[in-house]
Structure 1
């Protein structure tokens, strides 16, 4: 339900299809999901670079980066996580309409929240990439020291420790970062995008 009243959608004379044609590629939202430390940000950074080198217009939304600005008023409660993903979904939809390939790197632990973002977009425009990595390996990596803090009880509701992570049931792409090299993960996603004629 809208909180705002007396508002009207103002249409543009330039369509999403016009923008995609201008850029010579489609504008999917590539949604990276996985545990903290699984490699979502690392893979998305390299994919953004690969897309740029391919001549595609892409932009990356990263979980921590977005929390520095747009979502700095949100914490990590289930309600705040839900709102975090809702906002990112709406931003990704705008970028999709702008004709950009959007990469998002968020734990996004709840299936329902990811599915709601998928529903914002047209069929085939949401590409769920499951960055699969065992919690044991993520905990070994622990790039931000968060698992250690969670184990010490300094962080409550930490995904994979005392809060759930719901794995995707039918992701478009799976990259197993505890078994694949970084370049192999990027190559797998690029191959998918080429095969499905997104780029």
Structure 2
């Protein structure tokens, strides 16, 4: 596969165009305009099929005699393969030539890293007892004193709220706090 698409201009006669019959690319590529012994105007155009995945930022170019210019063709994301025509016009329509251009998927690279399909899915959760084989750390009661004090304070606030209010919602809130403190206490001494 060639890196650039060569286009010879003004070699055999004025406004003459010499191109390969076809060109294949996997990504953005340059068109290499190589002009002969006379200045020339060149117009480049991608047909509808190629325009779905590629574009040429500047379509019209002027080349001095014995000069070379590189014109980039930007290939973006889109369905592959795509095949279409690049139209090349010189001398304001004096000559026209077409190149079949095919945009294909990149080939497998040698430095590619294969990844196991198991990494594509989230890890499965164990269905058996998650605590099996797990040993709880040995924590002394002195280390839990601040947590126990906070729990006692929460119980006191809940009891005060329940006695000052006749609301069923407050009573349910107090029961929720008491249940939470009881569960936390169980986990502390466990």
With CA pairs under 8 Å and 6+ residues apart, which has the higher RCO, 1 or 2? Answer: 1
For Structure 1 versus Structure 2, the TM-score category normalised by the shorter chain is under 0.3
TM-score normalised by the chain length of structure 2: 0.22
TM-score normalised by the chain length of structure 1: 0.22
Please identify which structure carries the higher strand content: 2
